[in-house]
Structure 1
Amino acid sequence: MREEHYKWYSPHLGRDFEMLVFGEEGYPLILFPTSMGRHYEHRERGLINALQWFVDQQLIKIYCPDSIDTHSWYNIHIPPAERALNHSRYDNLLRHEILERVSADTGVERIAVAGCSFGGYHAANFAFRYPERVSYLFSLSGIFDVKFRLDGHYDDNVYYHNPMDYMRDNPHEALWRMGIILSVAGSDVSRGQNEQMSGILTGKGISHWLDIRHNMSHTWASWQDLLPYYLSLIK
């Protein structure tokens, strides 16, 4: 399986940024790391191996960017407003640096995004903000409300990066053309948020699948079983 490492200076972050890419051809998938995870996390945790068949068959090309959670939502040493602002900068990097690279590499305009745990938040936030550029969203054990990381602070950056809030008022027509899977274990701490988000989508008439797995858990082993199945549904 071809593996490429990229490192470049990001003007949106004002520092270097890293990403791993797996495969040569195939439908592009941006796979976000879990809380405070790095670009190599999915390789080390076995998720890339679980997806290797898709890569070897040139069905999927996987892009694994760094997170900057330690500088944004999870940085308790800076004011909450700065945490949200730093995430907004990360969002600009994703939209203007990574997405454009992915589309240039593959010639695909509407891509797939996925993530597990807090990576599910990143995938959903990106998909819901830019549905004209995302055709499939796979969120596994994700959350959709980041206000618990902000000590009561609230501003526009929080609102526009908090899917549980802005999705109620999101009118983008491409949302109704997106394949959406919200996957969560029956006993998962994030089950309530997945049910809430499913309720918001249902209220808007947006087709999706809330897949509650009572035999699974909030673990890498569960995600290694489930994500290959979800990717097999891409048409």
Structure 2
Amino acid sequence: MQQDYRRWYSHHLGRDMEMLVYGNWGYPVLLFPTSMGHYYEYKDFGLIETVRGFVESGKVKLYCIDSIDRDSWYAKHLHPGTRIWNHMLYDRFLSEELVPGIQRECNVRKIGVSGASFGGYHALNFAFRHPDQVGHLLTMGAAYDIRSFLGGYYDDNVYFNNPPDYMPNAQNPEFYHMNIVLGTSAYDFCKPDNYHMSDILNRKGIRHHLDVVPWGDHDWPVWKEQFPRYLSMI
């Protein structure tokens, strides 16, 4: 399986960013790591291996990006306003630097985004903030309400990065053309968040698939079963 390590400087973040890319061609799927995870996490935990066939056959090309969670949501040493601003810079890096490059490289108008646990939050929030750039959203074991990270702090940047808050009022025709899968499992502590997000989407008439695996909890065995199934829906 083709693996390509990339490192480059982000002008929005003012730092080098790292990424692993799997495959030579195929539909691009951007993978966000779990809480404070790194670009090599999905390789180390065996998730990439579960979709080897999709990659080697040229059906998908996977882009595993690094996070900056340690400087945003999990940076307890910083003021909440600074934390959310750092995430806004990460969002600009994604939407103005990384994703346009992937679109050009793969010659597509929209990409897929995915992630497990907190990576699922990143995937869903990016997709709903930038539906013109995302055609497929595949989450696994994610929670979507990030207010608990900020100790009661709230401003416009928090609102526009907290999907349960902004999605009921969001209007964009691209939502109705997106393939959306919300994945959870029977004993996943994030299951209520997925039911709540599904209810929001239902009330807006946005088509999606709520997939509840009838076994397992918030852990890698569930995500490794879900990910190849979800890729097959692209």
Shorter-chain TM-score bucket reads over 0.9
Q: Which runs of 5+ in 1 are unaligned?
A: none
Partner-residue secondary structure (3-state), 2:132: helix
Are residues 1:22 and 2:26 paired?
no
Indicate the residue corresponding to 1:195 in structure 2.
195
Question: Structure 2: how far apart are the matches of 1:130 and 1:81?
Answer: 22
How far 1:225 sits from its partner (Å)?
1.0
1:57-72 to structure 2, matched below 5 A, reads 57-72=57-72
1:89-134 Cα shifts (integer Å, max 9, x gaps): 0000011111011011100111111000000000000110111111
Question: Structure 2: how far apart are the matches of 1:219 and 1:64?
Answer: 19
Question: Structure 1: how far apart are the matches of 2:112 and 2:216?
Answer: 23
Indicate the residue corresponding to 1:182 in structure 2.
182
How far 1:9 sits from its partner (Å)?
1.1
1:114-133 to structure 2, matched below 5 A, reads 114-133=114-133
How far 1:8 sits from its partner (Å)?
1.1
Indicate the residue corresponding to 1:230 in structure 2.
230
1:197-232 Cα shifts (integer Å, max 9, x gaps): 011000000011111112132111111111101111
Question: Structure 2: how far apart are the matches of 1:216 and 1:182?
Answer: 16
How far 1:176 sits from its partner (Å)?
0.6
1:1-235 to structure 2, matched below 5 A, reads 1-234=1-234
TM-score by length of 2: 0.98
Question: Structure 1: how far apart are the matches of 2:200 and 2:55?
Answer: 34
TM-score by length of 1: 0.98
Matched letter for residue 75 of structure 2: N
The count of aligned residue pairs is 234
Question: Structure 2: how far apart are the matches of 1:7 and 1:86?
Answer: 20
Partner-residue secondary structure (3-state), 1:39: coil
The structure 1 segments of at least 4 consecutive aligned residues displaced by more than 2 Å after TM superposition are: none
Question: Structure 2: how far apart are the matches of 1:214 and 1:75?
Answer: 35
Partner-residue secondary structure (3-state), 1:210: strand
Cα RMSD, aligned residues only: 0.7
CA contact (8 A) 2:120 2:139 kept: yes
Matched letter for residue 116 of structure 1: A
